[in-house]
Structure 1
Amino acid sequence: MKFIVFTSPEFFSGEDFYIRRLFDAGVDVLHLRKPGASAAHCAALLDAIPVQWHGRIVVHDHFGLCRDYGLMGVHLNSRNPLPPSGFVPRSVSASCHSLAEVARRKPGLSYVTLSPVFDSISKQGYRSAYTDAQLRGAASAGIIDSRVVALGGVSLHGIPMLRDWGFGGAAFLGDVWERAGQPGFDDYLARLRSALDGLPE
C-alpha cells in the first residue's frame, strides 16, 4: 500500500526537517496542502526540501509550482477543481467525498482520495461516512481498488482494515503530525511503513 502524508495546514518551525524524516522513513508521496498560503510561502518550503524529494511531492494550490520545481503532480480540490493549462503534470489526483464520486472521477485520474474513512483525528466532529459493508461492497464492485487512497482518521490501528477493504494506499495527517517533536516519531513512521508493506509487527 502507498504511504502518503498530507502536510499540516499551517506552516511551523522546522517543518522541512520533519518532511525530510518522512521521506527517509519511506513515505511515497507528500501532499503539500496549505489552504490560503501564498505561492511564495509554499515555494519557500519547497526550497528547504532537498531536490531529490521534489519528484514525490504533490501540490493542492499554486499548480505552477509543480512545473517550476519538477514536482510529482497536482491534487484537484474544491479550491482548484481543474488541472493546470500550459503543462501536463505526471500525476493528477483528486479529493472525493462519496463512493459515487470515486466511481465517476477515478477513470480520468492517477488516483483519488476517499474521506472520511475513519473519524478524523485533527477535525473535531468530522466522523466516518461509510460502514464496513459499504466499503466491502465498493471493493467487490471495483470502486475501491489500487488507485483509491483512504483519508480521514487513518492511523496504524486502521491499516489492516484498509487492506481488507481493498484500498491502494493510506493518507495520514493528524496521526503523524501530532507525533512530530515527540520521542519515537521515527520508530512510529517505520511501523507505519512496515504495516503498509504487510509485514508483521
Structure 2
Amino acid sequence: MKLIVVTTPTFFVEEDKIITALFEEGLDILHLRKPDMPALYAERLLTLIPEKYHHRIVTHEHFYLKNEFDLMGIHINKRNPEEPHDYHGHISCSCHSVEEVKNKKHLYDYVFLSPIYDCISKEGYSSAYTPEELRQAAAEEIIDNKVIALGGITPDNLLEIKDFGFGGAAVLGDLWQKFDVCTDLNFLAIIKHFKMLKEMAD
C-alpha cells in the first residue's frame, strides 16, 4: 500500500531537511500543499530538496512548478479545479464522496477520498463514512488501488485502511504533530514515526 505525505499548509525552517529525510526512509510520494503561500516560497523549498526526489513530488498549487522542477505531477481540488491547457502528465484529484470517486476515478492516476476519520489537522472536519459504506464501496470495486485514504490516518487505523481495500494512505496531522518547530532540537521523532507507518503500510 502506498504511503503519501501531505505537507503542512505553511513553510518552516527545517522542512526541506525533514522532507529529504523522509524520502531517504522510503517515502513514496510527497504532496506539496501550501494553499495560501506565494510561488516563490514553493520554489525555494523545491530548490533545497535534492533533484533526485523531485519526480516523487506532486504540487497542489502553481502548476508551472511541475515542468520547472520536473515534478511527478499536479493535484486537482476545489481551489484549483482544472489542469492547465495542453497539460500532459500525472494528475491526482480530491474527492469527498464515494459517488464522486465512482465518477472521477477513471479520469486520474489516483484520487484522494476524505475524510475517512476525524481530521487531526482541520478542526471540525469529521469522518464522513461508516466502515460498512467503505466495505460496500470496496465490494463494488469503487475503492481499489487507485483510491487513497485521507483524513485522520494514524498507526491505530492504518491496518484498517488496508483492510478496506484502499491503494494507499495519505498522512498529514498525525505525522507533522511529531515535530514542534519552536521547541524540538531535532526531527528524530517524526522520522521514527514515519518509519513505523511505512512498515505498517508495506
Q: CA deviation at 1:186?
A: 2.0
| 2:157 is equivalent to residue 158 of structure 1 | yes
Partner of 2:176: 177
- Normalising by structure 2, report the TM-score: 0.94
Letter in 2 for 1:189: F
* Structure 2 Cα separation of the partners of residues 19 and 29 of structure 1: 11
Percent of aligned pairs sharing the same letter: 46
* Structure 2 Cα separation of the partners of residues 110 and 87 of structure 1: 14
Please tell me whether the aligned partners of residues 63 and 84 of structure 1 are also in contact (alpha carbons under 8 angstroms).
Answer: yes
| SS in structure 2 of the partner of residue 37 of structure 1 | coil
Letter in 2 for 1:7: T
Q: CA deviation at 1:24?
A: 1.3
Q: 1:194 aligns with which of 179, 194, 199?
A: 199
Please tell me whether the aligned partners of residues 54 and 71 of structure 2 are also in contact (alpha carbons under 8 angstroms).
Answer: yes
- Normalising by structure 1, report the TM-score: 0.95
* Structure 1 Cα separation of the partners of residues 98 and 106 of structure 2: 13
* Structure 1 Cα separation of the partners of residues 107 and 68 of structure 2: 24
| SS in structure 2 of the partner of residue 162 of structure 1 | helix
* Structure 1 Cα separation of the partners of residues 134 and 176 of structure 2: 27
| SS in structure 2 of the partner of residue 164 of structure 1 | helix
**RMSD over aligned Cα, in angstroms?**
1.0
Please tell me whether the aligned partners of residues 98 and 113 of structure 2 are also in contact (alpha carbons under 8 angstroms).
Answer: yes
Please tell me whether the aligned partners of residues 3 and 26 of structure 1 are also in contact (alpha carbons under 8 angstroms).
Answer: no
Please tell me whether the aligned partners of residues 149 and 169 of structure 2 are also in contact (alpha carbons under 8 angstroms).
Answer: yes
Partner of 1:4: 4
Letter in 1 for 2:94: S
Please tell me whether the aligned partners of residues 4 and 28 of structure 1 are also in contact (alpha carbons under 8 angstroms).
Answer: yes
Letter in 2 for 1:100: E
* Structure 1 Cα separation of the partners of residues 33 and 45 of structure 2: 12
Please tell me whether the aligned partners of residues 149 and 170 of structure 1 are also in contact (alpha carbons under 8 angstroms).
Answer: yes
Q: CA deviation at 1:148?
A: 0.2
* Structure 2 Cα separation of the partners of residues 151 and 184 of structure 1: 22
- Structure 2 portions without partners, runs of 5+: none
- Structure 1 portions without partners, runs of 5+: none
Please tell me whether the aligned partners of residues 144 and 165 of structure 2 are also in contact (alpha carbons under 8 angstroms).
Answer: yes
Partner of 1:41: 41
Number of residue pairs matched by the alignment: 196
| SS in structure 2 of the partner of residue 184 of structure 1 | helix
Partner of 1:106: 105
Q: CA deviation at 1:87?
A: 3.4
